[in-house]
Amino acid sequence: MRVVIAEDLALLREGLVSLLETHDFEIAAAVDNGPSLLKALLDHRPDVAVVDVRLPPSFTDEGLQAALEARRQVPGMPVLVLSQYVEQLYARELLADGTGGIGYLLKDRVFDAAQFVDAVRRVAAGGTAMDPEVISRLVASNTRNTPISRLTPRETEVLELMAQGRSNAAIAERLVVTERAVTKHTANIFTKLDLPVTGDDNRRVLAVLAYLNR
Amino acid sequence: MTSGLAKETRVTETRPRETRLQQHVRAPWRGLAFGLLGIPAMLTGAWFITVVSMISSFLGVLLFPSAVMLLRTQLDAYRSRINKWTDTRIERPYLPQPEVEPGFQGMLKRFVRLITDPATWRDYLWVVLDPVLVLFTAALPGLLVLYGLWGYVVAAFTGRWIGHYGGSDWYAYIHITEGYDKDVSRIVSTLVVATACIAAGLLIGPKMLNVYGRWGRFILGPTKKSELALRVRHLTETRSEAVDASAAELRRIERDLHDGAQARLVAMGMSLGAIEHLLDRDPEKARILLAEARQSSAKALHELRDLVRGIHPPVLADRGIGDAVKALALDHPLRVEVASDLPSRPEPPVESAAYFAVSEILTNAAKHSGAARVWVDLRYEDGMLRITVTDDGHGGATLDGGTGLRGIERRIGTFDGILALNSPVGGPTIVTMELPCALSSPKTSPS
């Protein structure tokens, strides 16, 4: 699997490169600024890109802008955005086109190599990987919305995990319940929120995110 | 040299919008009102000069401050009306008063301060000159209209009475004597002159008011010197407030770092030391401590992140105030709609001050207003960043009611920004802020 990495701190960039290489990713390019990121994305058309939000030369949200621009030109190009901070505003912008293949995680999540690599794979496969912090804030800002307040605490928990982009199996493992129980919870959630039921994991996640993003 | 105070007046005393017709109809009567204001002003002036004549005695010194204050109150009536009715804006020109001190010394100080304030003497000059000048400016249109109306009355019946009782009078150039009521040409002339007077009065009304306004500013407004003095006072106040605020902010950051990230790092260091020690003897225990250390590092990062967000929010740094306020709205418990129309970014310090002001107003709205929805509008007009925050709550907010609005006003005051609050009981509450600033050249998007 070919991956483009954009990170301006050399130490972290090398860390990402070696981490992904040990997990059988092929590094197509590792760049340290916004303009060369966009060029690398369009030249290499990687299977997935791991991008830091803040990049030189302007040290603003240059990485995010380059990723969004690349996705405008190549719809659905999988991008995992890393940041010191997660902002609902940026999450919304990344999710706005509704095509999936999007990740938005805090940089600390890299500490847990297995989870991180899993997130990269999920994004590469067209899924989503949203940071728990984004999702919990997204759910919190939706509490005035009555259908969500009708969910049971367990259902809310499942909703949050689902919105992070996890599959039923992963949710079941996380909550230490059977997969069937999770399926039941998700069915309840979809009925309560009045969302169309779909068997496809990715489409299901996108439906939930779109709902929360309204 | 437009001082921050100048803008203050503009916002707090906005001139009501009127059509041209309304202006022309109302101007003559307003002019007459200025003329009538002259009567109490003249009396006050007479009292003032009487007191001044007694100044060589103790009684004069004792009465002087009260006489000056009385005069000032009188003339403030002129200022507020000129601000309301004409295109001219007048500030109060008076030098700041020293703190009231008890005893003879304090009284003497106050006396000296007032008697050396040029504005005191300019006020007196106004009282002496204005009663004459007002007749030829503001009051003129009103007098013309009244004269015109008198002409109609003369033509209708008073002319006949005057003639009947053998009187003799003049209306403009028309002689009113016996037989006036039978002389059609004289009556027609009267009507023509009367109509012309009314028309002229209505026509020149607004113009004359503006001329009067300029005359008012010339005498009643601050001179260059007092304007500078007022400006210096404003800057001194806002500077010391800014210094206090930033010192308090630094203390808060220091405390947060000390209690938060720093403490966690110390704990981590201790854990790591213990792990080093335990590695060979008790690897299982070492593993538990390692997990704890990792948690500590995650918590330290989390706290640092919150701290940085409080100092300078990332979206503000990345995108500027428009998107930063939008990000704020997304995290806000109320439904906040943001409309931002800024061609580019204001200077960073202004941006930051405005951001935290909006943030605090939104927090206030959530806490006190009982509102369900809030609208934030950001725009750039006439060299000003103008921000309006409107909520549909129950209103009744005051600047001093512990709402923190006074604090916001002080902080944006550092940038000559001003804040106006409009919060009738029953709502809605509208907070308007204006910060003079320059915009940077539009940001080029990375391509």
- Asked if A58's CB is within 8 angstroms of B446's CB, the reply is yes
| 3.40.50.2300, 3.30.420.40, 3.30.43.10, 3.40.367.20: CATH of A2-130 | 3.40.50.2300
- What does the pLDDT read at residue B358? 94
How many angstroms separate the CA atoms of B321 and B379, rounded? 11
Residues of chain B with pLDDT under 50: 1-14, 443-447
For residue B446, the model assigns a pLDDT of: 40
Q: Do domains A2-130 and A135-212 have the same CATH topology?
A: no
Convert A131-157 to b/e letters by CB count within 10 Å (16 or more is b): bebbbebbbebbeeeeebeebeeebbb
Q: Touching check for B311 and chain A: CB below 8 Å?
A: no
CATH code for residues A135-212: 1.10.10.10
| Residue B335 near chain A (CB below 8 Å) | yes
* Model pLDDT, residue B306: 86
Cα–Cα separations (whole angstroms), residue A64 to A50, A103, B53: 11, 11, 78
In tens digits, what is the pLDDT along chain A, a chain of 214 residues?
A: 999 999 999 999 999 999 999 999 999 999 999 999 999 999 999 999 999 999 988 888 999 999 999 999 999 899 999 998 888 889 988 988 888 899 999 988 888 889 999 999 999 998 899 999 888 888 887 766 667 878 888 988 898 898 888 888 889 998 999 989 998 888 888 888 888 777 677 777 877 887 777 6
CB within 8 Å of chain B, chain A residues 47-106: 53-54, 58, 60-62, 65-66, 69, 83-85, 87-90, 92
Say which DSSP state A1 is in: -
- What confidence tens digit (pLDDT) does each residue in B103-129 have? 788 888 888 888 888 888 888 999 889
Domain boundaries, given as residue ranges, for chain A:
2-130, 135-212
Tokens 């919870």 locate to: A185
B333 at A interface, C-beta within 8 A? yes
Q: Which helix (H) or strand (E) holds A61?
A: none
pLDDT value of position A145: 64
- Which residue of A88, A92, A108 is in closest CB contact with B301? A108
- The secondary element (H helix, E strand) that includes residue A35 is helix A34-44
- Give me the residue label for tokens 């003249």: B42
pTM, rounded to two decimals: 0.70
